[in-house]
C-alpha cells in the first residue's frame, strides 16, 4: 500500500467550515465520557479542543462527584450526570446520533471497557483513546470484533502494543499499522513524531510535527480535534483523523519550544483561521 503524505488537499473540501446557514445543531454534538475525579483535566482538554474546531456543542457525561468541577471550570460545555452503567446505557439509547469520545480521563477499568463496548455496538461514530483502549488488555479480540469502518482509535505506541499483542515482535511502525489494519476495519491513528493514519484502503503519513508534543495532555487535545470533525454531514473517519493530526501538528510547530496542552487549545484558532482564509467561500 502506497503511503500518502498528509496535506490539506486530502480533506479540506469536507472540512466543516462555519457559514451563514450554520447553527449549533447543524454542526452536531460530541459527547465526551469522563471518568475519575483526578483525571477530569484530560476530558476538559478534549472537550475544549472540540468546541474550538468543528462541533456545535459538547456534552460531558460526569458523576455527582465531579459535576461541580466541570460546571465551575467550563460553563460553555453541557453536562449530564450519569452515575451507573445502566444510566449510561439509557442515555446512549436516547442519544445514538451524536459522536462519542471515550478514553481521555476515563480510567482503566472494567466499567470503562463495558461502556466502550456498549458504544461500539450501538453508536455509529466513536473515537476511542487512551484508557478506553488499555481497558481491553487481555481481551483484545473483543475490541477487534467491535471495531468497524466508522470507528477511530488513537493509540500511542505503548497502547498500540497493548491492543495488538500478537504484533509485539514487529518494530517498524509502518509494518505495525499495515498488520493491524488487516485485523480490524477501523481507522487507526498511530501517534508519534511521525504519525501514521490508516484504514483498510489507505495509509497517510504526517511527518511534519514537533517533538514538543511529547508532553501530557496533547493526546487528549488531538482526540478532541478528531472527534469534532467526524460525522455523516462532516468528514469521514480517515479525513477527520488526517485533518485533526494536521491541525494539531501545525499548531505545535507554530508554538515552538516549551508548549503544554493548554497552549495548543489557545492557539488552535490561528491555524483554523488560516484554513478559513484559504478555503472558505
How far is it, in rounded angstroms, from Cα 33 to Cα 131? Answer: 11
Average pLDDT over residues 32-37: 82
Check pLDDT > 70 for residue 199. yes
Residue scoring higher pLDDT (277 or 235): 235
On whether residue 173 sits in a domain, the answer given is yes
23 domain-assigned: no
HEC states along the chain?
CCEEECCHHHHHHHCCCCCCCCCCCCCCEEEEECCCHHHHHHHHHHHHHHHHHCCCEEEEEECCCCHHHHHHHCCCCEEEECCCHHHHHHHHHHCCCCEEEECCCCCCCHHHHHHHHHHHHHCCCEEECHHHHHCCCCCHHHHHHHCCCCEEECCCHHHHHHHCHHHCCCCCHHHHHHHHCCCCCCEEEECCCCEEEECCCCEEEECCCCHHHCCCCHHHHHHHHHHHHECCCCECHHHHHHHHHHHHHHHHHHHCCCCCHHHHHHHHHHHHHHHHHHHCC
4, part of any domain? no
Domain with 124 in it: 28-276
pTM: 0.96
- Residue 1 counted as domain residue: no
* pLDDT digits 0-9 by tens, 207-266: 999 999 999 999 999 999 999 999 999 999 999 999 999 999 999 999 999 999 999 999
Residue 213, in any domain of the structure = yes
pLDDT in tens, 139-148: 999 999 999 9
- Asked whether residue 21 is assigned to any structural domain, the reply reads no
Residue 9 forms part of a structural domain: no
Residue 12 within any structural domain of the chain: no
The CATH number given to whatever domain includes residue 248 is: 3.40.1190.20
pLDDT band at 37 (very low <50, low <70, confident <90, very high): low
| pLDDT value for 142 | 97
pLDDT digits (tens, 9 = 90+) for 75-119: 778 999 999 999 999 999 999 999 999 999 899 999 999 999 999
Domain tally for the chain?
1
Amino acid at each position: 500500500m502506497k503511503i500518502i503524505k498528509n496535506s490539506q488537499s486530502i480533506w479540506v473540501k469536507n472540512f466543516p467550515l462555519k457559514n451563514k446557514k450554520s447553527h449549533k445543531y447543524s454542526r452536531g454534538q460530541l459527547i465526551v465520557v469522563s471518568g475519575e475525579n483526578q483525571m477530569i483535566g484530560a476530558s476538559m482538554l478534549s472537550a475544549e479542543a472540540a468546541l474550538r474546531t468543528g462541533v456545535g456543542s459538547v456534552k460531558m457525561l460526569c458523576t455527582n462527584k465531579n459535576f461541580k468541577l466541570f460546571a465551575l471550570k467550563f460553563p460553555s460545555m453541557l453536562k449530564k450526570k450519569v452515575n451507573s452503567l445502566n444510566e449510561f446505557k439509557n442515555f446512549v439509547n436516547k442519544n445514538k446520533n451524536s459522536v462519542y469520545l471515550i478514553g481521555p480521563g476515563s480510567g482503566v477499568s472494567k466499567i470503562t471497557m463495558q461502556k466502550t463496548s456498549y458504544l461500539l455496538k450501538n453508536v455509529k461514530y466513536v473515537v476511542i483513546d487512551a484508557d478506553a483502549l488499555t481497558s481491553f488488555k487481555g481481551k483484545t479480540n473483543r475490541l477487534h470484533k467491535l471495531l468497524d469502518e466508522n470507528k477511530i482509535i488513537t493509540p500511542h505506541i505503548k497502547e498500540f502494543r497493548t491492543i495488538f499483542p500478537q504484533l509485539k515482535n514487529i518494530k517498524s511502525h509502518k509494518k505495525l499499522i499495515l498488520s493491524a489494519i488487516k485485523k480490524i476495519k477501523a481507522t487507526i491513528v498511530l501517534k508519534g513524531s511521525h504519525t501514521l493514519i490508516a484504514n483498510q484502503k489507505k495509509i497517510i503519513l504526517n511527518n511534519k510535527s514537533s517533538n514538543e508534543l511529547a508532553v501530557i495532555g496533547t493526546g487528549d487535545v488531538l482526540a478532541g480535534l478528531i472527534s469534532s470533525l467526524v460525522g455523516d454531514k462532516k468528514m469521514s473517519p480517515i479525513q477527520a483523523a488526517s485533518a485533526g493530526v494536521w491541525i494539531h501538528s501545525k499548531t505545535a510547530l507554530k508554538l515552538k519550544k516549551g508548549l503544554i496542552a493548554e497552549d495548543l487549545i489557545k492557539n488552535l484558532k490561528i491555524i483554523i483561521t488560516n484554513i478559513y482564509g484559504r478555503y472558505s467561500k
